[in-house]
Amino acid sequence: MEFTSIVGTQLRPSRIGLGTWAIGGLEWGGHDDEAALATIRRAFDAGINVIDTAPIYGEGHAEEVVGKALKGWRDRVLLATKAGLEWHTNGEVSRNASAARIYKELDTSLRRLQTDYVDVYLVHWPDDRTPMEETALAMASLFKSGKIRAIGVSNFSPAQMQEFARYAPLHVVQPPYNIFETAAARDVLPYAQSHELCAFTYSALCRGLLSGTMTRETVFHGDDVRLTDPKFQQPRFAHYLDAVARLDAIARERFGKRVIHLALRWLLDSPAVGVALWGARKPHQLEPIDGAFDFHVDDDLRKTIVDIVTEEV
């Protein structure tokens, strides 16, 4: 396992982190707690020390599962969770990053997680109805109190981060980033680099597209979020799968690897990426991790990857 640092803290995160959105069950076709617990323990065995969760994942269920898994491991884990989203009884989600909401959510998260501190606490989404000053000062207060060890923001623009940093320390930024979703490279990641923020990028495998396990016959069920994601609707789904097939061929020919290894190494060799968050809810989904540390993606290969994606999708 490779490790990095978070400037302004003593934290040393593994460069691969476990994302737990799917473990929560909602929007992923249900949950299996025994498999989830085994997955988290498999992550620990693989050298992963970053566990990323949020109250919104399964309406708190993901945090509860993580809390159970942390028993006996808490002092060896860098735990990240979030605040600022509300799930309403009608199924709608709204943004609320008010100070009162942030304080309440942290206390509730600590209870679910069975701990008295969080290593990285993030504002999940910017809330334009709450003054940035109020949100940032609330986070700064929690940081000073020791309840959180680092402050982060997720899905913020550079302008929003700059405004936030007027009122509070900022250590971590969390944008989506993978071979198919590269918008963060235009502004968010350069901002993170220039301001020494550790980027915890999420959706490493683009919701499973880059796992190499999907085919044109793959079907999603229930409330699976991919049922409404345009990437997974035909004919676009077929175009993405064609790109995956070409990327897989390159990985096999050049390195004796598969596309899942290439997708992860592509992230780890991106200069602005500190931690790549890998979502999993079954232990076997973490098996490819060990294959991502004995090769590198150079600039020429990065250009080839861009060309393939441009041609296919």
3-state SS of 142-185 is HHHHCCEEEEEEECCCHHHHHHHCCCCCCCEEECECCCCCCHHH
**pLDDT over 70 (residue 159):** yes
**Average pLDDT value for the chain:** 92
> Can you read off the two tokens belonging to residue 85?
């989203």
Instruction: Give the pLDDT of residue 30.
Output: 53
Q: How far is CA 306 from CA 235, 236, 300, 303, 313, in A?
A: 20, 17, 10, 5, 11
pLDDT at 28 over 50: no
Q: Across the strands, what pairs with 19?
A: 52, 279
**Which domains can be identified in the chain, with CATH numbers?**
16-211+264-286 (3.20.20.100)
pLDDT at residue 172 above 90? Answer: yes
What are the residues whose beta carbons fall under 8 Å from the beta carbon of 129, sequence distance 6 or more?
A: 95, 96
Lowest mean pLDDT among 15-24, 155-164, 174-183, 194-203: 15-24
User: Is 57 a known active-site residue?
Assistant: yes
pLDDT the model gives residue 300: 96
Furthest-apart CA atoms within the chain: distance in Å: 55
Q: Which residue has the higher pLDDT, 159 or 36?
A: 159
Please compute, for residue 111, the number of CA atoms within 13 A of its CA located in the half-sphere on the CB side: 7
Give the pLDDT of residue 25. Answer: 47
Q: What size, in residues, is the chain?
A: 313
SS3 label, residue 173: strand
Classify 37 in phi/psi space as left (phi over 0), alpha (psi -120 to 50) or beta: alpha
Q: What is the mean pLDDT of residues 284-299?
A: 92
pTM value is 0.90
Mean pLDDT, residues 180-197: 96
User: Of 163, 168, 122, which Cα lies nearest the Cα of 141?
Assistant: 168
Of 178, 109, 167, 175, residue with least CA distance to 143: 167
Tens of pLDDT, residues 55-110: 988 777 889 999 998 988 899 999 999 999 988 777 788 899 999 999 999 999 99
CA atoms within 13 A on the CB side of 202: 22
Of 184, 15, 278, 140, nearest to 6 (Cα)? 15
